[in-house]
Structure formats: structure tokens, C-alpha cells
Amino acid sequence: MPRDVTLTRVRVTPIAFRDGPLLNAAGIHEPWALRAIVELETSDGRVGISETYGDEPMLRVLAEAQGLVLGLSPFDLNTMEERVRAAIHPVAGAVEFELAPGSHSAKNAAKVASTFEVAMLDLQGQMLGAPIVDLLGGRVRDTVPYSAYLFFKHAEHIERPYAPDAWGEGLSPEQVVAQARRMISLYGFRSIKLKGGVFEPAHEIACMRALHAAFPGVPLRLDPNANWSLATSIAAAEQLDDVLEYYEDPCPGLAGMAELARHTKLPLATNMVITTLDDFRKGADTGAVKVLLSDHHYWGGLRVTQTLARMCRLWDLGLSMHSNSHLGISLMAMTHVAAAVPNLTYACDTHYPWQEEEVIAGGRVPFEDGAVRVPTTPGLGVTLDRERLAELHEQYRRCGVRNRDDLSQMRKYDPGFTGRQPRF
């Protein structure tokens, strides 16, 4: 009987993989991005897998949480969640990476529950011979669309031992258009997002207009990550009105976004001002946000994402997905849940094209016409390549990066960089 099977072991492997010199409001990506690969072993010898944040505070929380699932059945998701919520708490005085609300320690319980949930659903699927999407109510689509996620970038990292990536420099409007062309020709994406909040708004608007001219009819988004003041965001909205499908987190705070909403007809999207169900309760009625960018890694898992989707439907909000640097296990978890959400109204974000390395057997997940095919095989539909896992863990051991720090990295290029936000 499946319920006689219990979880007997938790294995957490931190990994580091190469990342490009991508610019954002906080600074610039370091040469290495971190993740943690979590494996849950069962009494009948199965292994369920999951991928999450790999920074030091997250590794500490995962170590603290390991014992909470031992002895549970992979079907005991509710008990797992209750235990995690009772035992895992925010850390007072924690230093948090502001750009990525997923890194905040207030999300610790949600992040751990999400990590365990994905691995437990993988096990459930293996035991029942069903893909995770079936455990979430079944697919409403066979492929999940993703967007071309563009970044301003340097050609090379400032530290020289790292070979340049294949993308070259991406600073001018022409280079940004070339980056989009390359990404679309490689993967077939049908919408485009530019990570902004890096240069003077006039330059970023010029880039958006260049993309609009180069890709007529392709939906475009700009995300300054709250690095524009309210006044700047209002002024820029007028110049972006005919160009954007949505305007993502231009200015800080729910109140700022609500005020901006009174000055523009552009739908505002966020992964910064509504990041918990509690924020949703407070924020949905303000009219500040019309599109929610969910992220199962810090919202609490795939089933919470489905709850959020129902709430978006009830409040008449659009829904899509946010991303950080990640590998294929996360991409597959995103794909399963996105396939089970009827009201996925926009193509999801993914950093995946920026990552060259993988830990899953068979190598990188393919995109077909900008979309990932939803697996029909049991569980997540992907398994670990243990040799690659060991290599990426070795990179983690050697790379020296233990926390994401885009600000300090940027100071290597520009010692005067303050990281003050909003900067424009």
C-alpha cells in the first residue's frame, strides 16, 4: 500500500553553476549562481527531488527542517506543512537581498514547505504512475509558454578566469534587440521581458521602443524592479503606453503602485509588492496591481500557487510566473503547476536560457516554440544526473560564493555604486 511507504532520509546538496554578468537594480550577477538540490528517500527505495535557493541562510533552514518529514508518507502534505509552519520562523535581524523577496527569512516556512512539497509530489507521482500535473487536477494545456527574459549585460565578468558567454554585450538598444533575436531564434519565445532599473529611464524606454519596432505585435514587458520613483514611473508610463502588455514593478510599495495605477491605463504587474497570501488580502482591493507574478518557491508550493490562481480569478487579476536563476528541476515544477492553472494569462518568466549547466539526466530541458512540453511520465518527469550533481557541488565548494550579493559585485566595476533605491 502506498501509505505504508515513509520518508527515511533527506539529502540537501548545494550547487553552484556559471551565471552571466547580468545587470539589475541591485547591481550585477556574480559569476556563480547558487541553488540547493533536495532529495527525499523512501522506505521502498525511491527518491523524490526538488530544487530551491542555495544561499547559506536557506541551507541552515533546510538543515533545521530535515527531521520534520522523516516518518511521514509522501502523501502527508498537510502534516508536513503544519509541522514546517510550527517549527520554522523568520530570523530576527537577517540581512535580506531586497530585489528578490523570495530570499527573505519571513518566507522561510513557505520556502521549506514548497521544497518538500515538490519532492513529495514527485514521489506520489512515481508511486501512482502519474505526472505531477495529474495530482494537481490534470492538465489544461500540453505546453507551457515562457517569455524571452532579456538583461542588460557586459560581455564578460570583471574577474577574468571566467570565459565569456555566448551572448556578448547587451547595453545599447541595438544590442538588446540582437539579444532578443538570438533568444527567440534559439527557443522560439513569443513574448519579451526586459529587466530594467539599470540605466536612465530614457535609455530603457528607447530599448523598449527598439524592441517594439523590431518585433511588431510581440507582447513586451519592462521590469525596473522598483528602481524608479513614482514621478519617474508616471512620466515613463506615457511613453510606454503603446508598447507594453504590462508594466512590472516600476516603483516601490503597494501605495506607490496604487497611485501609479491612477495615472496610467497600463496594467501593473508585481512580484515585489504582493508576495504572500496576506499581502494579497491587503493588496488586491487597492487596484494597485492587475497581474500577479507567482513563484512556487516562496509562495509555499504548487498547491498554494493553485490557490493563488483561484484568488486571481475571483479578483479578476491576471497571473503569470516570476523567476530567479534556476535549473531544470525548478523549470519542470513550474511547468507542471502552470499546466494545471486554467487562468495562466501570460507567458511565464524564466532565467533558464541564461544557464548553460544542468543537473538533470539527459541535459537541458528543450523549448518548442517558446514553450515547455508538460511531461506525461510519472512524478516531475526528470531525474538527477548524479555525476553532474557531484560536479556542480564541487563548483559550490570551490567558488567561494555563499550568498547572492549583486551590490558588492557591482562595486568591483564601480566602487562608487551605492545601490540606493529608487535610483531614478
In the complex, least distance from residue 25 CB atom to ligand GKR, rounded to whole angstroms:
7
What cell does 308 get?
493563488
- CB-nearer residue toward ligand GKR: 224 or 381: 224
d(CA 372, CA 139): 13
Give the shortest CB-248-to-Mg ion separation in angstroms: 5
Choosing from 29, 322, 326, 351, the catalytic residue is 322
Please, which residues have CB within 8 angstroms of residue 70's CB and are 6 or more apart in sequence? 6, 7, 8, 9, 10
Active site residue 322: yes
Strand duo 143-145 + 371-373: pairing = antiparallel
Smallest distance, ligand GKR to C-beta of residue 293, A: 7
Q: Which of 271, 275, 320, 395 binds Mg ion (CB under 5 A)?
A: 271
Using CB under 5 A as the binding rule, whether residue 223 contacts Mg ion is answered as yes
Contacts with ligand GKR, residue ranges (CB under 6 A): 22, 24, 99-100, 195, 223, 225, 271, 322-325, 349
337 CB-near residues (< 8 Å, 6+ apart): 132, 133, 136, 296, 302, 305, 306
Which among Mg ion, ligand GKR, none contacts residue 257 (Cβ within 5 to 8 A by kind)? none
Piece of 128-136, 227-235, 251-259, 271-279 that binds Mg ion (CB under 5 A): 271-279
Q: Residue 338 binds which one of Mg ion, ligand GKR, none, with CB within 5 to 8 A depending on kind? A: none
Beta bridge partners of 28: 23
> What does residue 318 show for φ and ψ, rounded to 5 degrees?
-75, 165
Measure Cα distances from 240 to 209, 237, 264 in Å: 8, 5, 10
Q: Could you say which of Mg ion, ligand GKR, none residue 100 binds, taking C-beta under 5 to 8 angstroms by partner kind?
A: ligand GKR
Q: Tell me, yes or no, if 195 is annotated catalytic.
A: yes
Q: Which of 107, 157, 195, 326 is catalytic?
A: 195
Reading the block at residue 259, the C-alpha cell is 497611485
Rg (CA), the chain: 21
Quick one: 122 or 245, whose CB is closer to ligand GKR?
245
Which CB atom, from 19 or from 248, has the smaller least distance to Mg ion?
248
Element holding 76 (H helix, E strand): none
Taking CB under 5 A as the criterion, which residues in 53-72 touch Mg ion? none
The reply on whether position 98 binds Mg ion by CB under 5 A is no
From CA 19, how far away is CA 22, in angstroms rounded? 8
Q: How far apart are CA 159 and CA 73, in angstroms?
A: 47
What are the catalytic residues? 195, 322
